[in-house]
Amino acid sequence: HQGYVYTYRVSKTETGSWSAETAPGVHRRLFRKVHNLLSAFQKPNQGIVTPLQNPVVKPVKAGCSPGTAAGRNPWLQPSRAL
């Protein structure tokens, strides 16, 4: 879904399971490992979809061209296995 941000509040329960807060009325799912939670929520239609109110603009540093190692945002890099 281009133009949408998927946001989840992830927490560990008192019993050691992981859960994600989703929209009201969505069944709470528990996971033994955070990796399993992340895998499940990578699929579409798993929670709240919110249209962006303002565009996200990445500032460009002087002397760095987009795509260079110094100009890359670590939050936008491919994820690594936990």
Q: Is 60 a domain residue?
A: no
Render pLDDT for 34-80 as a digit per residue (tens, 0 to 9): 899 888 877 776 665 556 677 778 888 766 555 555 455 555 545 45
The Cα 26–Cα 78 span in angstroms is 29
Residue 63 located in a structural domain? no
In a domain, 32, yes or no: yes
CATH number of the CATH domain containing 3: 3.30.505.10
Question: Does residue 45 belong to any structural domain of this protein?
Answer: yes
Residues forming a β-bridge with 18: 12, 31
Q: Which strand (E) or helix (H) includes residue 19?
A: strand 18-21
Q: For the chain, what is the radius of gyration of the CA atoms?
A: 17
Q: Range of 8's domain? A: 1-53
pLDDT attached to residue 16: 94
Q: Given the DSSP bridges, would you call strands 4-6 and 9-12 parallel, antiparallel or unpaired? A: unpaired
